[in-house]
A and B are shown apart, each in its own frame.
Chain A
Amino acid sequence: ETGVTQTPRHLVMGMTNKKSLKCEQHLGHNAMYWYKQSAKKPLELMFVYNFKEQTENNSVPSRFSPECPNSSHLFLHLHTLQPEDSALYLCASSPGLAGLSVEQFFGPGTRLTVL
Chain B
Amino acid sequence: SQQGEEDPQALSIQEGENATMNCSYKTSINNLQWYRQNSGRGLVHLILIRSNEREKHSGRLRVTLDTSKKSSSLLITASRAADTASYFCATAEANDYKLSFGAGTTVTVRA
Docked-complex contact B43 and A98, CB < 8 angstroms:
no
Closest B residue to A31 by beta carbon equals B97
Q: How large is the interface on B (under 10, 10 to 19, 20 to 34, 35 or more residues)?
A: 20 to 34
Is B42's beta carbon under 8 Å from chain A? yes
Q: Knowing A42-B3, A42-B103 touch, does A99 contact B97 (C-beta < 8 A)?
A: yes
Is A84's beta carbon under 8 Å from chain B? no
Secondary structure at the A interface, as helix, strand, loop or mixed, is loop
Docked-complex contact A108 and B97, CB < 8 angstroms:
no
Q: Knowing A43-B88, A101-B48 touch, does A106 contact B101 (C-beta < 8 A)?
A: no
Most buried by B among A1, A2, A43, A102: A43
- Report A-chain residues with C-beta under 8 Å of the C-beta of B102: 42
Docked-complex contact B92 and A43, CB < 8 angstroms:
no
Docked-complex contact B42 and A48, CB < 8 angstroms:
no
Beta-carbon contacts of B25-36 to A below 8 Å, as 1s and 0s?
000001101010
- Report B-chain residues with C-beta under 8 Å of the C-beta of A109: 40-42
Closest A residue to B95 by beta carbon equals A99
- Report A-chain residues with C-beta under 8 Å of the C-beta of B101: 42-43
Docked-complex contact B30 and A99, CB < 8 angstroms:
yes
| A29 to B14 Cα, complex, angstroms | 39
Is B75's beta carbon under 8 Å from chain A? no
Beta-carbon contacts of B54-96 to A below 8 Å, as 1s and 0s?
0000000000000000000000000000000000100011001
Docked-complex contact A106 and B44, CB < 8 angstroms:
yes
CB distance from B104 to the nearest CB of A (A): 8
A residues near B, CB below 8 A? 1-2, 4, 6, 40-43, 45, 48, 56, 88, 90, 92, 97-109, 111
B residues near A, CB below 8 A? 3, 30-31, 33, 35, 40-45, 48, 50, 88, 92-93, 96-104
Would you mind naming 15 contact pairs between A and B with Cβ atoms under 8 Å apart? A1-B41, A6-B42, A42-B103, A43-B88, A48-B98, A90-B42, A90-B43, A98-B97, A99-B98, A100-B30, A101-B48, A101-B92, A102-B48, A106-B44, A111-B40
